[in-house]
């Protein structure tokens, strides 16, 4: 029963690492970004509402995001554990998540933070733009998302660091090496309570 969170700036390969880490721990991934993108492409009411925020590189309002995660966390496939990717991103969302988990007598076991220099993140984003053609992968939107990460999401990292559950991982270089480092660091933390 493992409940994890992964946090990382845009371009850090967070989504890719989430998939590998979740597979290792045999838990499903819940990516708020993926859920929003699916709703946008299916033109659901949520997608229509969320699209402009995604396109601008802004955060989708808390009411929408929190309600979506709350419903998802109640589903039966997540009862044995999960890896949350992209949520919480603000201090308010941390409180919301605390409440959601507490109401189900659950708690997080560890929070993985991917760290990489801004210059490398920008290079990776440009590469992803070529490969996947994501609408928010333009230099302008990328810089806005990175600013948002530094200005808002660092609070989230600070909260979990303060709780002694932050596992920071060097997110530079080869994606396979990053996966190996991340899994080893989480395993060590879960077994010994030691953060790298
Ligand atoms: P991601 O794939 O995690 O980079 O998320 C892509 C986009 O989805 C973000 O730029 C936001 O517009 C939106 N999004 C994802 N997660 C959240 C969240 N926790 N709160 C608000 N907006 C979010």
**Alpha-carbon span 115 to 7, nearest angstrom:** 9
In contact, 183 and 167? CB cutoff 8 Å: no
In contact, 86 and 31? CB cutoff 8 Å: yes
Query: pLDDT digits over 155-186, tens only?
Result: 999 999 999 999 999 999 999 999 999 999 99
- Closest C-alpha among 58, 22, 5 to residue 179: 22
H/E stretch holding 6 reads strand 2-7
In contact, 167 and 195? CB cutoff 8 Å: yes
Residues of the chain with pLDDT under 50: none
Atom of ligand 1 nearest to the CA of 34: 2
Q: Looking up tokens 């270089």, which residue turns up?
A: 173
Runs of H (alpha helix) within the chain: 14-24, 32-41, 45-56, 62-73, 91-103, 118-132, 139-148, 154-162, 175-192
Distance 7 CA to ligand 1 centre (A): 11
Structure confidence at residue 132 (pLDDT):
84
Helix (H, G, I), strand (E, B) or coil at 12: coil
35: its two tokens: 């859920």
Using CB distances shorter than 6 Å, the residues near ligand 1 are 10, 32-33, 36, 53-54, 57-60, 65, 86-89, 93, 136, 145
**Alpha-carbon span 187 to 102, nearest angstrom:** 24
Structure confidence at residue 12 (pLDDT):
93
């Amino acid at each position: 029963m493992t409940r994890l969170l992964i946090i990382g700036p845009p371009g850090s390969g967070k989504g890719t690492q989430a998939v590998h880490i979740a597979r290792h721990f045999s838990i499903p991934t819940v990516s708020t970004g993926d859920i929003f993108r699916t709703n946008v492409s299916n033109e659901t009411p949520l997608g229509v509402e969320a699209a402009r925020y995604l396109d601008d590189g802004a955060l989708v309002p808390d009411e929408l995001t929190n309600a979506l995660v709350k419903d998802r966390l109640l589903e039966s496939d997540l009862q044995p554990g999960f890896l949350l990717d992209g949520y919480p991103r603000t201090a308010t969302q941390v409180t919301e998540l605390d409440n959601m988990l507490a109401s189900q007598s659950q708690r997080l076991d560890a929070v993985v933070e991917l760290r990489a220099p801004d210059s490398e993140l920008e290079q990776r984003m440009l590469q992803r733009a070529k490969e996947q053609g994501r609408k928010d992968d333009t230099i302008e939107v990328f810089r806005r998302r990175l600013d948002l990460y530094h200005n808002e999401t660092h609070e989230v990292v600070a909260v979990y660091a303060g709780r002694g559950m932050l596992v920071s991982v060097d997110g530079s270089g080869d994606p396979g090496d990053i996966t190996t480092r991340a899994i080893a660091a989480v395993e060590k933390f879960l077994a010994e309570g030691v953060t790298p």
